[in-house]
Structure 1
Amino acid sequence: MPSPLPHLGIIGGSGMLGAAMLRAVLAQGGWQVTISNRSGVAPDWADGVRVTQSNAELVAASDLVLLCLPPAVFADMSLDLSGKLVISVMAGVDLAALQAQTGAARVVRAMSSPAAGQGLAYSPWVASAAVDALDRQYVTRLFEACGATDEIAEEPLLDHFTAMTGPVPGFVAYFAEAMINHATAQGIPAEVADKAIRQLFLASGQMLAEGPTAAEHVQGMVDYAGTTAAGLDAMRASPLADLISAGLTAAADKARSL
């Protein structure tokens, strides 16, 4: 990785996602960071971070500008980011719109999540034609601070990642809620059910993070032919997979409409 890293400016660095990504880069180290917000006050945990109320001042100080804003707020902003490397984590704002509104040629559109603050986000990204190899190293370094990352080739795929990996814990929490409700309906005390299912999802996430794929885990349980296999066979025979797909499609359609 080239050194030193570019000066990073985060517009929206005190919002939920911006603050999470700020935590991630500070934990990684090596970055000089300026954030802009309305108060002009940095979070009390953000040692060494410069803060300003002026986006123009932030832009002047920065080589890489990270846009962590609601799309509606960005639509009303006037930013001259020509000559800067620009990364956007705003849902629904495509590369062409980013280039047109900011004047930047080197633009990256990405999707991340507040799990970045714990280094647990998945952040796929797509780059404009002007983004070079050195830029890609900086983008990768930034998103590796947040968790796992990949460059993808097709921009429309980001809408699906917005649906699948952006809402943390979102859909996974809904499945957990359904399991907790089932447990309490069987007479298990609510606090015990909640604790048990939280621990189940914690362990499952850690086991899925490495080793066999999700499909291999499922097939392994089916092959074992125990109690879990009976449940999985019933779920596979149901329309559950199609209903999950329908929910994710609805979320992706919403992302495209923003």
Structure 2
Amino acid sequence: MAIHHSFGIIGGSGQLGGAIARQLLLTGTLAPDHLWISNTSGKLDGFRKWPFVRSTTDNQELAQACETILLSVPPHVAKGLELKAEGRLVVSVVAGLTVERIGEMTGTTRIVRAMSSPAAEYGLAYSPWVAAPGVTEKDRETVGFLFKACGLTDEVSNEDQIDRFTALTGPVPGFVALFADCMAQYALRHGVDPKIADRAVRQLFHASGVTLSETEPTPAERVAEMIAYAGTTAAGLEVMRNSALSQAISDGLDAAYDKAKSLG
């Protein structure tokens, strides 16, 4: 599967835009001579393998040249972004940027609002998206090709869910890293060598992620299995379930959601 038309990324050399761009090229989803990247420097750091990728400092030049445009700039930059893109498919992965605002900025009705993460570079992102009424079935195919190259993807039913997923799955690996650090610090407090603690915790989270991804049981079913086994893990899980941990996680996600909403 591939995208067979000109495709531009505004902010395509940034952390997220660059990750998506390189994955599209690495997977053959997009040919190098079909890709345009716009940034403030005009340089293409990280794209030496693909000399035919085109660069510009002029967002409007990119918009005129490309049939599909991906917006991947920081929210504060997006607030000042204006370009004429009538009739183009515009996909945004800018946190908080609403479909309504994208339409005002670009003049198009073919709008997809999405979220993704830099894990796209490894094909490990989760990228949900919502389509405006003007999006066609062909547009949906293009968006599917784009985000399937980057990992897993789903079309969701409403825009609010994009803000929820921005909180839930956007901060890779921030929330998981916090949990991992708590476990590593526990090991350090009990005399474990820092390098060994780091190695052990990294492997635990790697194995846990692969197991959750590649096997059928849900996270809730995994917890139930461990508690039913009544071993050492069950003893720890029972204490955690009866603590304020769940509420603290919920409060943290609410704070991230509120921030996503405020950015728009």
> TM-score when scaled to structure 2?
0.94
Give the aligned partner of residue 22 of structure 1.
21
Q: Give the secondary-structure state (helix, strand or coil) at the position aligned to 2:55.
A: strand
1:141-160 equivalent positions in 2, closer than 5 A: 141-160=145-164
Give the aligned partner of residue 116 of structure 1.
120
Change (3 A) 1:30 1:233: closer
Change (3 A) 1:8 1:46: farther
- Give the conservation status (yes or no) of the 8 Å contact 2:64–2:85: no
For 1:197, the aligned partner's letter is V
Give the aligned partner of residue 75 of structure 2.
71
Q: Take 2:103 and 2:27, find their aligned partners in 1: how far apart are those partners?
A: 29
**For each residue in 1:171-206, what CA deviation from the matched residue of structure 2 results, as whole angstroms up to 9, or x when unmatched?**
000000000000111111111101100000000000
For 2:63, the aligned partner's letter is V
Give the aligned partner of residue 131 of structure 1.
135
Give the aligned partner of residue 39 of structure 2.
37
- Give the conservation status (yes or no) of the 8 Å contact 1:223–1:229: yes
For 1:86, the aligned partner's letter is V
Q: Take 1:4 and 1:105, find their aligned partners in 2: how far apart are those partners?
A: 20
Give the aligned partner of residue 174 of structure 1.
178
Give the aligned partner of residue 228 of structure 1.
233
- Structure 1 window deviating more from structure 2 (23-32 vs 202-211): it is 23-32
Q: Take 1:30 and 1:172, find their aligned partners in 2: how far apart are those partners?
A: 30
Question: Does structure 1 residue 249 correspond to structure 2 residue 254?
Answer: yes
1:200-219 equivalent positions in 2, closer than 5 A: 200-211=204-215, 212-219=217-224
Change (3 A) 1:46 1:82: farther
Q: Using the TM superposition, give the Cα deviation of residue 5 of structure 1 relative to its aligned residue in structure 2, in angstroms.
A: 2.1
- Of residues 176, 198, 201, the one that matches 1:197 is 201
Which aligned segments of 4 or more residues in structure 1 are displaced greater than 3 angstroms? none
**For each residue in 1:10-55, what CA deviation from the matched residue of structure 2 results, as whole angstroms up to 9, or x when unmatched?**
0000111110001110112142211011222223435031111221
- Give the conservation status (yes or no) of the 8 Å contact 2:103–2:111: yes
Q: Give the secondary-structure state (helix, strand or coil) at the position aligned to 2:153.
A: strand
Q: Take 1:145 and 1:45, find their aligned partners in 2: how far apart are those partners?
A: 20
Structure 2: unaligned runs, 5 residues or longer: none
Q: Take 2:75 and 2:178, find their aligned partners in 1: how far apart are those partners?
A: 26
- Give the conservation status (yes or no) of the 8 Å contact 2:29–2:146: no
Give the aligned partner of residue 9 of structure 1.
8
Percent of pairs identical after alignment? 52
For 1:19, the aligned partner's letter is G
Q: Take 1:227 and 1:197, find their aligned partners in 2: how far apart are those partners?
A: 17
Q: Take 2:3 and 2:227, find their aligned partners in 1: how far apart are those partners?
A: 51
Q: Give the secondary-structure state (helix, strand or coil) at the position aligned to 2:159.
A: coil
- Give the conservation status (yes or no) of the 8 Å contact 1:5–1:138: no
**For each residue in 1:57-89, what CA deviation from the matched residue of structure 2 results, as whole angstroms up to 9, or x when unmatched?**
211210000000112212212200111000000
RMSD: 1.2
Q: Take 1:215 and 1:137, find their aligned partners in 2: how far apart are those partners?
A: 33
Structure 1: unaligned runs, 5 residues or longer: none
Q: Using the TM superposition, give the Cα deviation of residue 6 of structure 1 relative to its aligned residue in structure 2, in angstroms.
A: 2.4
Q: Take 1:136 and 1:92, find their aligned partners in 2: how far apart are those partners?
A: 21
Q: Using the TM superposition, give the Cα deviation of residue 120 of structure 1 relative to its aligned residue in structure 2, in angstroms.
A: 0.6
> TM-score when scaled to structure 1?
0.96
Q: Give the secondary-structure state (helix, strand or coil) at the position aligned to 1:150.
A: strand
